[in-house]
Amino acid sequence: MRKPVRVLVVDDSALMRKLIPNILERDNSIEVVGTAMDGHFALKKIEDLSPQVVTLDLEMPGLNGIDTLKEIMRRWRLPVIVVSSHSTTGAAITLKALALGAFDFVAKPKDVSARMPEIAAELIRKIRAAAQSAGVQAQFLPAETHGVQPHKLQPVAPTRIIAIGVSTGGPNALQYLFSQLPVEFSGSILVVQHMPDGFTELFAKRLDESCPIRVKEAQSGDLLVAGRALICPGNRHMKVKKFPLGNVAIPQRGSACERTPSFGGCAVPQHSGGVWTASHGGVDDGHGRRWGCRLGRDPGGRGIHGGAEPGDMRCFWHAQGGH
| Rounded-to-integer distance, Cα 30 and Cα 7, Å | 7
For β-strands 237-243 and 161-166, DSSP reports them as: unpaired
What is the per-residue burial (b if ≥16 Cβ within 10 Å, else e) of 159-184?
ebbbbbbbbbbbbbbbbbbbbbbeee
Catalytic residue among 86, 194, 237, 280: 194
Sign for the pseudo-dihedral over CA of 105, 106, 107, 108: negative
Q: What residues contact residue 193 under an 8 Å CB cut-off, 6+ apart? A: 166, 167, 170, 171, 174, 200, 203, 231, 232, 262
Enter the DSSP assignment of 140.
-
For residue 208, the SS3 value is helix
| Annotated active-site residue in 27, 67, 197, 285 | 285
Q: Is the alpha carbon torsion for 193, 195, 197, 198 positive or negative?
A: negative
Residues 93 and 84 sit within 8 Å (Cβ to Cβ): yes
Which one of the listed residues 84, 85, 167, 272 is annotated catalytic? 167
Pairing status of strand 214-217 against strand 228-231: parallel
Q: Quote the CA–CA distance of 187 and 47 in Å, as a whole number.
A: 48
DSSP 104: E
- Helix boundaries (H) for the chain: 14-24, 39-49, 65-75, 88-99, 112-115, 120-132, 170-179, 200-210, 255-259, 310-319
Neighbours of 154 (CB within 10 A): 8
In 157-252, alpha helices (H): 170-179, 200-210
Beta bridge partners of 240: 249
285 as an active site residue: the answer is yes
| Catalytic residue positions, numbered | 167, 194, 285
